Amino acid sequence: MDVTIPILILAIPLFMFVFLGLTGMKMSHKVAGILGTCGMGTVLVLAYYTAFQYFFSGADIFINGAGERLQYLVFDQTWLQFTENLVIKLGFLLDPISAMMLVVITTISFMVHLYSMGYMRDHHGVYEHGFQRFYAFLSLFSFSMLGLVVAPNIFQMYIFWELVGASSYLLIGFYYTKPSAVSASKKAFIVTRFADLGFLIGILTLSWYTGTFNFTELTSIPVEGMAGVSQVNIGTAEYVRGIFANSAAPTFMGASVLTWALVLIFMGGMGKSAMMPLHIWLPDAMEGPTPVSALIHAATMVVAGVYLVARLFPLYLMEEAALDIIVVVGAVTALYAAMVACTQLDIKRVLAFSTISQIAFMMVSLGVARPEFHHGLGYMASMFHLFTHAMFKALLFLCAGALIHAIGSNNYTEMHGLRKHMPITHVAFLIGCLAIAGIIPFAGFFSKDEILTACFGHSIFWYIWMSAVAGLTAFYMFRLYYLIFWWKEHKTPEGHHAPHDQPWTMTLPLVILSVVSCVAGFVPFGNLVTWNGHPMFESVDFFTNLKALDWSVASISLLVALAAIGLATVMYRKENALPSKMRNALPALWTWCFHRFYFDELYMFITHRIIFGCISRPLAWFDRHVIDGTMDAFATITNKASEVIKPLQSGQIQMYVWYYLVGALLLGGITALCVI
């Protein structure tokens, strides 16, 4: 395969970032926006082409005779060679999940680029301050995210992992004059960095034992006779486990070292994917512009954690304990976030918590996946849900952006009854809600159903738990829907025009994503993305997914969703007393949910009281008095010494030659004394 296109996929966004960053302020807002969007459009085409080639060309570097999909290393360039073994490379790995992610990232990113052309201006069409900077950062993010998903080694992934973190920081804090945005961006950065500490230790542990950073060497075997082609193989993972088991110190504090490494790597994923208890940054990250929330904090960056676990999935299979931890963390997070989402008042916060909950679904799905059960159905379901969720959640966020743009507030108690004024947004939002609630035939139904089936195959307990969360999801989404689009509308104040639908740049992405949310469920994912590339179905047609459904699970989940929607309809279709009655019936639960179980307060207490007070203050004293004192002493000595030797440089040539001669004689003389 030609390397030009893969290189361009990475180079164009990077170039756009540098170009817009350096020269953006010199061009008009519109030109910058169009340039950025066109750049992303080109990447979109190239990425689609690459993914199409990978999935459908049938070339023998992508798929073998048995129909199993292979991993293909398009290029792998040495970047830093420290020693013979310790090499850091930059490359481009094509395999089912990276090809899928290329599609997801470029689609959503392009939609957001387009959408922002309309969103990032006020009602009079005046562009926001820093519009060009916004596009530069969007390009930086796209570059980083693309680099992350195609990374063939864990170190490159880590580099880009930090880069997405940095670009997320820049975009959350885009309105840097707003103190809440600034503190939100800091919070996001610090929390994810803290998680990345674990990630880094995990990476180092893993590569210390195995002596490699490359994913293909950790999870696959090379295919004979074809350079750069390899196939996922459980045997390699077993070999890696063997390395750990036969090492000098196979266990550490009661768990095997491999488990530790995997759990620490998962910790990095927890930070990026906002799993409990590291989820606190994501709701605050909603301070960023809404298109950013759609791109970074719903569709792409936050699923990086899921992607990471999926990348190393064969290794996770080696350690049941690590998978169990993933399931517990995911399940608890899913329930927690769904409960909190039922009580929030800010439309973006509800969507943020919903995102957390949905990502937790994907995590659980990975955690329950086993090769014995339907060829690792959970893995496929997780990736499927990642795909569909990216589409419908981006749709919901972009709708929310349209609403916020029209109303000028995030608080949906100020919205009500908008269905007449904004019909397109209304329909799009409804499609998004139906998709996330899991109503047939929308995208979310299929992917969520696969997840529940996978849970069912693993343990009945987690199946019931996750089904309940799915019900809650339908409930809070429709609560949101009714509160925004139904109820009696607020009077428009004098002098303002009524809210209305948006310009075409904002409408087009909504329409496209709505269509995708309707049909994405029919994509035969089982034949495209599986943990070892092995296809699930003999032959595929449009209704493959429908035929493959486990109807015992599907009908129950459908019933649960419909019941939840019914409940939401009864409670929120019109203004009535039911919600407040319910709140009064369970006051404690409501308060805890509303305050997000006081997590932020807990962290505040820990950082301010314990870390700042008990650790930082003594350290500061030590730093100021002992360390600074020592350094000052060094500086004083250096300064004095330079004062002492000053006369040497007298400016007199006789002296110079004299010192020269003495120097040469001493040099020879002293050496001679030592040597002879």
Q: Which residues bind other proteins (CB under 8 A)?
A: 78-81, 635, 638-639, 641-642, 645-646, 648-649, 651, 653, 655-657, 659-665, 667-672, 674-676
User: Which of 488/646 has CB closer to other proteins?
Assistant: 646
User: Which of 246/642 has CB closer to other proteins?
Assistant: 642
Q: State the nearest-atom distance from the C-beta of 658 to other proteins, in Å.
A: 9
Q: State the nearest-atom distance from the C-beta of 89 to other proteins, in Å.
A: 10
Bridge partners (DSSP) of residue 252 are 255
For 616, other C-beta atoms within 10 Å of its C-beta total 14
Q: 131-149 vs 154-172: helix axis angle to the nearest 10?
A: 160
Terminal C-alpha separation, the chain: 67
- Asked if omega into 371 is within 30° of 0 (cis), the reply is no
Q: What value does the CA radius of gyration of the chain take, rounded to a whole number of Å?
A: 29
Q: Which tokens in the block code for residue 334?
A: 């899913």
Please say whether the dihedral angle defined by the alpha carbons of residues 63, 68, 69 and 73, taken in this order, is positive or negative: negative
| Residues in Cβ contact with 17 at an 8 Å cutoff, skipping those fewer than 6 apart | 136, 137, 139, 140, 143
Inter-residue contact 297 to 285 (CB < 8 Å):
yes
User: Which of 252/634 has CB closer to other proteins?
Assistant: 634
- Asked if omega into 579 is within 30° of 0 (cis), the reply is no
User: Which of 584/671 has CB closer to other proteins?
Assistant: 671
User: Which of 607/638 has CB closer to other proteins?
Assistant: 638
User: Which of 56/659 has CB closer to other proteins?
Assistant: 659
| Residues in Cβ contact with 523 at an 8 Å cutoff, skipping those fewer than 6 apart | 384, 387, 545
Q: State the nearest-atom distance from the C-beta of 490 to other proteins, in Å.
A: 50
Inter-residue contact 74 to 93 (CB < 8 Å):
yes
User: Which of 585/675 has CB closer to other proteins?
Assistant: 675
Of 444, 523, 386, the residue nearest 97 (C-alpha): 386
Q: State the nearest-atom distance from the C-beta of 83 to other proteins, in Å.
A: 10
Maximum pairwise Cα distance, the chain:
105
Of 277, 302, 297, 278, the residue nearest 286 (C-alpha): 297
Q: State the nearest-atom distance from the C-beta of 670 to other proteins, in Å.
A: 8
- DSSP letter assigned to residue 612: I
User: Which of 570/661 has CB closer to other proteins?
Assistant: 661
Inter-residue contact 453 to 381 (CB < 8 Å):
yes
Q: State the nearest-atom distance from the C-beta of 153 to other proteins, in Å.
A: 15
User: Which of 606/670 has CB closer to other proteins?
Assistant: 670
3-state SS assignment for residue 96: helix
Given the DSSP bridges, would you call strands 255-256 and 220-222 parallel, antiparallel or unpaired? unpaired
User: Which of 18/243 has CB closer to other proteins?
Assistant: 18
Inter-residue contact 480 to 350 (CB < 8 Å):
yes
Q: State the nearest-atom distance from the C-beta of 345 to other proteins, in Å.
A: 45
User: Which of 21/277 has CB closer to other proteins?
Assistant: 21
Q: 29-56 vs 131-149: helix axis angle to the nearest 10?
A: 20
Q: State the nearest-atom distance from the C-beta of 194 to other proteins, in Å.
A: 23
Q: State the nearest-atom distance from the C-beta of 625 to other proteins, in Å.
A: 21
Q: State the nearest-atom distance from the C-beta of 133 to other proteins, in Å.
A: 18
Q: State the nearest-atom distance from the C-beta of 40 to other proteins, in Å.
A: 25
Inter-residue contact 337 to 354 (CB < 8 Å):
yes
